[in-house]
Amino acid sequence: MAPPVPYDGFDLMPIAGEWRRGSSGERRADVDPWSGETLVEIPLAAESDLDQAYQAAGDAQREWASRPPAARAQVMLAAAETLRGRREEIVGWLVRESGGTVAKAELECDLVLGGLMEAASVPHRVLGRINPSDIPGKESRIYRVPAGVIAVISPWNFPLQLSNRSLAPALAAGNAVVLKPASDTPISGGLLHAKILDEAGLPPALLSVLVGTGTEIGDAMVRHPVPSVVSFTGSTPVGEGIARQAPLKRLALELGGNGPLIVLADADLDRAVPAAVFGSLFHQGQICMIANRIILEDAIHEEFLERFLERVAALKVGDPSDPETALGPVINHSQLEAIRDKIARSLDGGAEQLLGGDPGGPSGLLLPPHVLLADNEAPVAREEVFGPVATVLRAQDAEEALAIANDTEYGLSSAIFTADVERGVRLAQRLQAGMTHINDSPVNDDPNTAFGGEKASGVGRFGGDWAIEEFTTDHWISVQHEPREYPI
């Protein structure tokens, strides 16, 4: 069978049921971070486009919610089938637009495929209930209904997945969505979703994708009266700003991370070392759940570090379209400078650099992996780095490792390696994090699990039954079957 005709027209965006150009009068070049090539120039959306999208979404949502669950499930299944048929095309966009390696792009496609299949089950899992009543003859029915219109703002690091994990369950539960993808990844973070769902039969205006600046449409997205839920994945400062601007809306926020990976003295280093390399450097470390800090119990510190450095030094760094490449470029020059600044401040403060190098590549964004020895006060340990930097810290014992791990404002993902699984679980229960993985990487690559953090890492949960709770609401309807007497 011949492959499908590749998608085109990415200078247009779906707004209120029509593919058209944004009306702000400004344009933005979508640039390949490896080559520096401009992939497409997109006329950006204005606040007037946003208002039209929200109004049309509200109208379309009511009809969509009234459809039988099977009809909504079928669109999700068709989208999954479309993704399968266009996998190579979509992998190519992820590599070119985000600078991710082929392995990262393929994993991301698998996550989205799993998410679409999960979403196909959502329409039949939105369940009401009957509550008991102490009033004779009264019936209390609790209907679980769609929240309405959902605002989704997604980041650039896993653009296809981090848009889909809100978009797919929200649509499947009977909502409409207005999506703003990150400006660095407008195609893989939004416009590809719209193309796939169009092909899958999603009715017009249920999904609008607006590519625009944060100042032009970002703030207006969350302040607008139409959306009842705001789903955002990104930095903690931006998430805090959303909470201030939309205090009465329901918020699902996954924010920054500073994940600890603890390796105890009894750990199997044959398992811990590869997991630490993957968990700290996959996708150039540009993942919120990344192992920002590798905390080693003293007894295995030297052996672990020797193995770790050997493995990191052997990683191939270069063109992300080469299937053998392990690390590609970081997303943009602003991000590169922020990473290098954290490294420099850490070295000035006494950290020791064991591996590193200067940026290179055609665009100058290829930063080699860095490994630093530091304490928990170094900027690379205290702050979210979001780059190919692994910071190694030493702990005398498990108690000190736990204290170091919790000594951060963040609480997203974490990991513990130990031969004693139940001891690991007991320690995990004392970690201040939304997720802890025993003998596995803190980067959660399982499409059938939920995500979410504590402290400055956000509020709400993404995935599984939590997604249904986030994107639906209870409507209590009581029925008084018998006449009753009232107090007055």
- In this structure, the answer to whether residues 129 and 52 fall within a common structural domain is yes
The DSSP letter of residue 321 is: T
**Residue 451: inside a domain, yes or no?**
no
- In this structure, the answer to whether residues 63 and 175 fall within a common structural domain is yes
CA separation, residue 120 to residues 114, 148, 296, 422 (Å): 10, 19, 42, 35
Can you give the residue range of the structural domain that contains 376?
A: 259-438
Tens of pLDDT, residue by residue over 266-298, are 999 999 999 999 999 999 999 999 999 999 999
**Residue 7: inside a domain, yes or no?**
no
- In this structure, the answer to whether residues 371 and 392 fall within a common structural domain is yes
- In this structure, the answer to whether residues 342 and 468 fall within a common structural domain is no
**Residue 428: inside a domain, yes or no?**
yes
Tens of pLDDT, residue by residue over 388-439, are 999 999 999 999 999 999 999 999 999 999 999 999 999 999 999 989 999 9
- In this structure, the answer to whether residues 243 and 343 fall within a common structural domain is no
**Residue 328: inside a domain, yes or no?**
yes
Contact between residue 23 and residue 46 where contact means Cβ atoms under 8 Å apart: yes
- In this structure, the answer to whether residues 271 and 217 fall within a common structural domain is no
Q: Which of 157-171, 190-204, 247-261, 392-406 has the least mean pLDDT?
A: 247-261
Tens of pLDDT, residue by residue over 392-406, are 999 999 999 999 999
Residues of the chain with pLDDT > 90, as a percent, come to: 88
Cα(161)–Cα(473) distance, integer angstroms: 24
- In this structure, the answer to whether residues 239 and 123 fall within a common structural domain is yes
What is the CATH classification number for the domain harbouring 292? 3.40.309.10
- In this structure, the answer to whether residues 282 and 232 fall within a common structural domain is no
Query: Catalytic residue numbers?
Result: 254, 288
Q: Quote the pLDDT of residue 449.
A: 62
For residue 260, give the nearest of 294, 305, 297, 296 by alpha carbon. Answer: 294
Q: Quote the pLDDT of residue 266.
A: 97
What is the CATH classification number for the domain harbouring 101? 3.40.605.10
**Residue 393: inside a domain, yes or no?**
yes
Residue 143 has pLDDT above 70, yes or no: yes
- In this structure, the answer to whether residues 41 and 152 fall within a common structural domain is yes
Number of independent structural domains in the chain: 2
**Residue 446: inside a domain, yes or no?**
no
**Residue 100: inside a domain, yes or no?**
yes
Residue 5 has pLDDT above 90, yes or no: yes
- In this structure, the answer to whether residues 239 and 331 fall within a common structural domain is no
Contact between residue 260 and residue 405 where contact means Cβ atoms under 8 Å apart: yes
- In this structure, the answer to whether residues 392 and 464 fall within a common structural domain is no
- In this structure, the answer to whether residues 271 and 184 fall within a common structural domain is no
Assign 248 a pLDDT band (cuts: 50, 70, 90).
Answer: confident
Residue 246 has pLDDT above 90, yes or no: no
